[in-house]
Structure 1
Amino acid sequence: MNDLTTGNEAKSIFFFSLPMLIGSLFQQLYNTADSIIVGQFIGKDAMAAVSGANPIMFLLTSLLMGVSLGFSILISQYYGSKDMKKVKATIDTTYIFVFITSLIITVIGILFSGSILKFMNTPDSILEQSKLYLMVIFSGTLFSSGYNSVSAILRGLGDSTTPLYFLIISTILNIILDVVFIINFKMGVEGVALATIIAQGMSFIISVIYLNKKHDILKFKIKGIIYDHEIFKLGLKLGVPSGLQQMLFGFGNIMLQSLVNSYGTSAMAAFGASSKIETFISLPIMNLGAAVSTFVAQNMGAGETERVKKGVKASLKMALGISIFVCGLFILFRSQLVSLFNSDEEVISIGSAYLITIGPFFIFICTSFMLSSAIKGAGDSVFALISSMISLWLARIPACYFFSSLFGVNGIWMGIPVGWILGFIITAIYYRGGKWKTKSIVNSRNKDIFSDLELANTSSEE
């Protein structure tokens, strides 16, 4: 466990984010390996089937992921205030929530995947493949949710290294199983899904064994598990807005995927490949943001608001440097990157257009994500929900539909940066306003901080 309330702010954030970045690279590596093996050994239709199914999987698990983030922030704040009894109760309550919710998601996913795929205009030629993929994936929801929850709990306590080891094991196993099921056993998309849930299941089991042997406070035991209703309500207060934000984003992805689907399997395959590339290159920013959330949460819990300010400034500088670098990657190597997934010329052409269109605007989403992560870490998850609704539903989705009516499939990509820019403007204005600093649930010096903030706000109004 790592205390982020002391030491150099920039170094604390960077070295905390580094294991998460390496872990995410491994995670994305096996996601990318899935797509490459499917695209090269099964075909374009199979690749489109997996790509078209992913937004449904994200939508149905997004609420769980968002609420789990709320509990993780609560754990960080209690840990920052050195209240280990509350930390233990929060961890146990998280386990109970994740278990029950995972079972519900499994049932919903298996029963309604086919109907959602039809709603998304999924072509008949790949409908059954997409449905089969989702049914296998959803059968392993408990494993994936359990592993992700354990990792989130450890990160909330400042340990970003241990989840990396679990993820490396999962990644290596997943790639080996991909090769065995698809290349050796000649399985279709169900082989990809089966490899994923087996790998995640093994990683989850190993993580539980590790926790029970190494950490008394983190032990996963049915007997004696603590459910704290007040903590549950606080976790929901922090997590539900984030979960709703994730769901809105997931539903937005379904709307976007539905629009892409209307242009055929080549567009679907290209969008799937380009999205994988975008995610892969975005990993440094996403993990830096996750580190900032934990850093802010711990320091708000300890009452170190000045450290929060310095840490966010340092993270912004790192994010800007990274975003400028990745813009160059997007533009210079777009065709080569897409061709890794599928050699079809139409797929490469559409995918390349996607990357060169969004690349120059990547700086906006990077900066916005860093500020939003800091705001969430402070305990203000409602703003992120509002900002997401405005940028997604008033800008991104309408712009994608509008530009596609004028320029075809490439017009879809033109609408994406519109939402990014609006989201950046809203987030930057709110961050500078400073109200998010008063949202911490746990704070060792609440009264003094709130008084200082009220005095500062009064002075600025005068």
Structure 2
Amino acid sequence: MSTSMTKGNPLKLMLQFALPLLIGNLLQQTYNIIDAAIVGQILGAKALASVGASSSVQFLVLGFCMGCCTGFGVPVAKYFGAEKMDTMRNYVFNGAVLTGGIGVTVTILCSVCCPQILHLLSVPEDIFRGAYHYLLIIFLGIPFTLLYNYLSSILRSLGDSRTPFLFLAFSAILNIFLDLFCIVVLKWGCAGAAAATITAQAISGILCLVFIGRKMNVLHLTKENRTVNITAVKELLAMGLPTGLQFSITAIGSMVMQSANNGLGSVCVSGFTAGMRIKQFAMCPFDAIATSASVFCSQNMGARQPERIKKGLRQGVAIATIYGLLIGLVLIFGGRTLSMIFVKKSAADVLDASGKYLRCLGYFFWSLGILNVSRMVTQGLGYSGRAVLSGVTEMLARTIVSLGFVGALGYTAICFADQAAWIAACCYIAPTCLHCVKKVTGILEGNGNR
């Protein structure tokens, strides 16, 4: 069911939109945690390292794909807010064509280059085989990842975050059973974990497609809508590619960081993998709040309501910062204990590494709330190119810390690389977002030019 966010209490609307998205993200990360726990507890610490050794390149590739899908949804939200339904449907079709093209191209390139990617990441020989099998299957499943992410992005652009959540919840639960079946029964090892993930993603994407076909009349395309429109393609690419590149550019810094960490040995790789899974779980509310604020501001830009845009940004940043402070305390005092989900108590060195990573993250977790909301609102207002620069800033900060300090400080430098990236990006994107909001409100009030 589509929902307009151009009328009513902004905070209530954003929280209602964010709640299903948050629960869905938490379920997805819960699966990721269970996935890692099954691998770590059943197959051992080295298998866990195999699954985690390529996480940064997965973020690079899948982040680019998902970022493009998110960007393609921005014009759809704008035209939905402006009640230009025929134009909106044109953009939905053209976005689907672009998504299909990206899926084919990225899948072929990444699958062919998989061994070279792992060598580039300095994956240790004792975990290389498992890492290769896991990553190759993830790459082959990119079209299914894109199917779900594009359709869910379109549904969220129309204010429906509940339906994608329900399908994601189903696939996350299915994922757990498939994991156990592929790893325990079929004994496929790390490849089984990847196969389970891709199968569940495919099912969630198909469910979204069936739902749109049966229930979302507003998205049903006429013959006139099913034509490639150069104007639509240009606007979609202007939003989608910068958003995708922002994720990828950020991931380049993460790849440099992971490569440096991989060089420290399998203990640091296992500890980092366990800590990263917990970090990703803790980050879910940031993603939900930021996406909600972005859709809210985008719809209200289409509806020409500048004061609601300002209010949405303020309230989004406030909620995210408060959450960041609270969860930071949990990471500081409970990180090592939480790491026991993935690693047996006897692997004290791995638990110490994971606990240290999470403790260091906790001190600066609040800054990630400001960063995510500011960046997503900037994108939602149509300035995705400027948001990309925040990704460049993150990349540079992670690269400088990883290449400049790991040699002298070892794993301690890895533990502070993320925070350096967050703070540096905040210093750029927070004032940039305020400038973009001021510029948009000036245009809507008739006092400026975009």
Q: Structure 1-normalised TM-score?
A: 0.93
Superposed CA deviations along residues 316-354 of structure 1, whole A, max 9, x for unmatched, are 221122111101110121111111111221110111110
In structure 2, C-alpha distance between the alignment counterparts of 1:244 and 1:60, rounded to whole Å: 10
In structure 1, C-alpha distance between the alignment counterparts of 2:265 and 2:87, rounded to whole Å: 52
Tell me what 1:326 maps to.
Answer: 327
In structure 1, C-alpha distance between the alignment counterparts of 2:165 and 2:223, rounded to whole Å: 26
1:224 Cα shift?
7.2
In structure 1, C-alpha distance between the alignment counterparts of 2:421 and 2:250, rounded to whole Å: 12
Q: Is the 8 A contact 1:380 1:439 kept in 2?
A: no
1:439 Cα shift?
5.9
Letter in 2 for 1:423: A
2:373 to 370, 373, 389: 370
Cα distance change of structure 1 residues 221 and 268 upon mapping to structure 2, 3 Å threshold: farther
In structure 2, C-alpha distance between the alignment counterparts of 1:18 and 1:165, rounded to whole Å: 12
In structure 1, C-alpha distance between the alignment counterparts of 2:67 and 2:128, rounded to whole Å: 29
2:447 to 439, 447, 452: 452
Cα distance change of structure 1 residues 439 and 66 upon mapping to structure 2, 3 Å threshold: farther
In structure 2, C-alpha distance between the alignment counterparts of 1:243 and 1:408, rounded to whole Å: 31
Secondary structure in 2 matching 1:404: helix
Secondary structure in 2 matching 1:47: helix
Cα RMSD (Å) of the superposition?
2.0
1:52 Cα shift?
1.2
Tell me what 2:17 maps to.
Answer: 16
> What aligned pairs does 1:42-441 form with structure 2 within 5 A after superposition?
42-219=43-220, 225-343=226-344, 344-393=347-396, 395-432=397-434, 434-438=435-439
Greater shift, 225-234 or 78-87, is seen at 225-234
Superposed CA deviations along residues 133-156 of structure 1, whole A, max 9, x for unmatched, are 122122221111101111000001
In structure 1, C-alpha distance between the alignment counterparts of 2:295 and 2:383, rounded to whole Å: 13
1:62 Cα shift?
3.0
Tell me what 1:460 maps to.
Answer: none
Q: Give the paired residue count.
A: 447
In structure 1, C-alpha distance between the alignment counterparts of 2:139 and 2:409, rounded to whole Å: 36
Superposed CA deviations along residues 364-404 of structure 1, whole A, max 9, x for unmatched, are 121121112211111111111112212321x2321233332
Q: Is the 8 A contact 2:294 2:376 kept in 1?
A: yes
Cα distance change of structure 1 residues 359 and 448 upon mapping to structure 2, 3 Å threshold: closer
Q: Is the 8 A contact 1:354 1:413 kept in 2?
A: yes
1:219 Cα shift?
4.1
Secondary structure in 1 matching 2:54: helix
Q: Is the 8 A contact 2:47 2:130 kept in 1?
A: yes
Q: Is the 8 A contact 1:63 1:247 kept in 2?
A: yes
1:262 Cα shift?
0.2
Letter in 1 for 2:400: P
Letter in 2 for 1:366: G
Q: Is the 8 A contact 2:309 2:437 kept in 1?
A: no
Cα distance change of structure 1 residues 163 and 255 upon mapping to structure 2, 3 Å threshold: same
Cα distance change of structure 1 residues 96 and 448 upon mapping to structure 2, 3 Å threshold: closer
Letter in 1 for 2:44: G
In structure 2, C-alpha distance between the alignment counterparts of 1:196 and 1:327, rounded to whole Å: 29
Q: Is the 8 A contact 2:82 2:303 kept in 1?
A: yes
Q: Is the 8 A contact 1:401 1:412 kept in 2?
A: no
1:18 Cα shift?
0.4
Letter in 1 for 2:185: N
Cα distance change of structure 1 residues 42 and 245 upon mapping to structure 2, 3 Å threshold: same
Cα distance change of structure 1 residues 353 and 7 upon mapping to structure 2, 3 Å threshold: same
Secondary structure in 1 matching 2:228: coil
In structure 2, C-alpha distance between the alignment counterparts of 1:371 and 1:414, rounded to whole Å: 22
1:54 Cα shift?
2.3
Cα distance change of structure 1 residues 158 and 448 upon mapping to structure 2, 3 Å threshold: closer
Letter in 1 for 2:67: G
In structure 2, C-alpha distance between the alignment counterparts of 1:170 and 1:17, rounded to whole Å: 19
1:60 Cα shift?
2.2
In structure 2, C-alpha distance between the alignment counterparts of 1:255 and 1:399, rounded to whole Å: 10
Superposed CA deviations along residues 50-77 of structure 1, whole A, max 9, x for unmatched, are 1112222222233322222221011000
Q: Structure 2-normalised TM-score?
A: 0.95
Q: Is the 8 A contact 1:330 1:355 kept in 2?
A: yes
Secondary structure in 1 matching 2:264: coil
1:191 Cα shift?
0.5
> 5+ unaligned residues in a row in structure 2: which ranges?
none
